Amino acid sequence: MQSNSTPPNPLRRREVLRRTVLGGTAAAVGLAAAPVVSGAAPAAAARPRGTADVTFRWLGVAGWQVVHDGHVLYFDPYLSRFDYQSNPALDIDPTIVDRLLAAGTLAGPPELIMVSHGHWDHLADVPQLLARPDWAGATIRTIGTDTVRNLLAGMGVSDARRKNFIVATGGEELDFGAYQVRVVRSLHSQSKGFGFAMPGVRVAPPPTPQTISDLVEGGTLAYQVTFGGRLRVLFSGGTNFVERELEGLRPDVVMVSMTDYSSLPDYLERLLTVLGGPRYVVPVHHDDMVTKFDNPNLPGTVDATAATRLRDAIRALRMPTKVIEARHLEAFTL
Ligand SMILES: [Zn+2]
């Protein structure tokens, strides 16, 4: 995993600083205390709307589970963590989900699965989650691009599940009652040399995908979810964004993808600035993607410089933003 920082560009940085002063004031109001870290999901007790906790668990890579007032949501849930470099076959392991559910570190069934794009480290486990026999009676909505919809069909997702797929292109505002989802048109990361692995779209269900190369990107979406009318959370699965699509958004929490961004100008500075200085940022997509959850070395696979780079950018921009360093599967509550 590469993590090179972009060399500073003085002209660009001055522009970012100026815009921060103009646009960062409102988001700085009401800076909350440090997040509560807890080991258990919140009870779905009857509390007034707008006060229920939002509990997060990082699932590794870009993935999240969020529980709010009894509602369970997943974003890019990739749990199999197979060794794709040794063998690119899609080696999906449902027993990992079984163990996480039995241990209580995963809650389910989810009522919504948000997918950023079609690559394996975001999508590969979605079919097995939708096919779990013990969740067969539950309505699980999945949201993503048309390519993701077609890939899921090729991966054998049932007609019944596919009926609850929401095709999105970005710009959609969706009201689920206890929470609202705004779909945001976004971009995949750009590697050195300006490009990324496995581009492409699927306009019809493909033959059953066999390897990671069969799961093409198909466009990238981000999602801002507003919980209980009080906590806005921006999830992204790609290390890039469309600046104009983020203008006016004021998320409280931003999950910041931290794969290589050396081809992008001032990635962190521009992101933090256009979002007005969010209360919290959480680095993601900075683990090795293959070390299993039960491996004691898992925390060591996380690139610790990601948090440092975020703090450096925040300090340079004079923002009040706090960095939350999530640990795999450990809950924290906001
Ligand atoms: Zn990708």
- pLDDT tens digits for range 289-324: 999 999 999 999 999 999 999 999 999 999 999 999
Distance 148 CA to ligand 1 centre (A): 12
| CA distance linking residue 236 with residue 285, whole number of Å | 10
Residue 1 clears pLDDT 50, i.e. is over it: no
What pLDDT is recorded for position 11? 37
What is the percent of the chain where pLDDT is above 70? 85
Distance 231 CA to ligand 1 centre (A): 27
Distance 216 CA to ligand 1 centre (A): 8
Q: Of 173, 172, 158, 98, whose CA–CA distance to 134 is shortest?
A: 98
Average pLDDT of the residues in 98-113: 96
Contact 131, 157 (CB under 8 A): yes
Average pLDDT of the residues in 254-265: 95
Residue 118 clears pLDDT 50, i.e. is over it: yes
| CA distance linking residue 99 with residue 151, whole number of Å | 27
- Which of 16-30, 116-130, 240-254 comes out lowest in average pLDDT? 16-30
Q: Return the DSSP state at 230.
A: T
Average pLDDT of the residues in 247-268: 96
What pLDDT is recorded for position 102? 96
What pLDDT is recorded for position 50? 66
Q: pLDDT tens digits for 20-29?
A: 333 333 333 2
Distance 82 CA to ligand 1 centre (A): 16
Q: In this structure, how many other beta carbons lie within 10 angstroms of the beta carbon of residue 34?
A: 9
Query: How many CA atoms within 13 Å lie on the side-chain side of 187?
Result: 18
Distance 46 CA to ligand 1 centre (A): 39
What pLDDT is recorded for position 33? 36
At the fourth CATH level, which superfamily is domain 36-40+52-333? Ribonuclease Z/Hydroxyacylglutathione hydrolase-like (3.60.15.10)
Distance 45 CA to ligand 1 centre (A): 37
What pLDDT is recorded for position 52? 82
Contact 283, 307 (CB under 8 A): yes
DSSP per-residue string spanning 97-128? HHHHHHHTSS----SEEE---SSHHHHTTHHH
Distance 288 CA to ligand 1 centre (A): 14
Which alpha helices (DSSP H) does the chain contain, by range? 10-23, 25-28, 94-103, 120-123, 126-130, 146-154, 159-162, 243-246, 267-274, 305-317
Per-residue confidence at 129, pLDDT binned at 50, 70, 90? very high
Distance 119 CA to ligand 1 centre (A): 5
Q: pLDDT tens digits for 165-186?
A: 999 999 999 999 999 999 999 9
What pLDDT is recorded for position 23? 31
Average pLDDT of the residues in 258-277: 96
What is the percent of the chain where pLDDT is above 90? 82
Q: How far is Cα of residue 283 from the mean position of the Cα atoms in its chain?
A: 10
Average pLDDT of the residues in 44-64: 79
Q: Which residue has the higher pLDDT, 270 or 197?
A: 270
Residue 42 clears pLDDT 50, i.e. is over it: no
Distance 34 CA to ligand 1 centre (A): 31
Q: pLDDT tens digits for 71-98?
A: 999 999 999 999 999 999 999 999 999 9
Distance 196 CA to ligand 1 centre (A): 8
What pLDDT is recorded for position 35? 41
Distance 188 CA to ligand 1 centre (A): 6
| CA distance linking residue 203 with residue 196, whole number of Å | 20
Q: Which residue has the tokens 């033959």?
A: 207
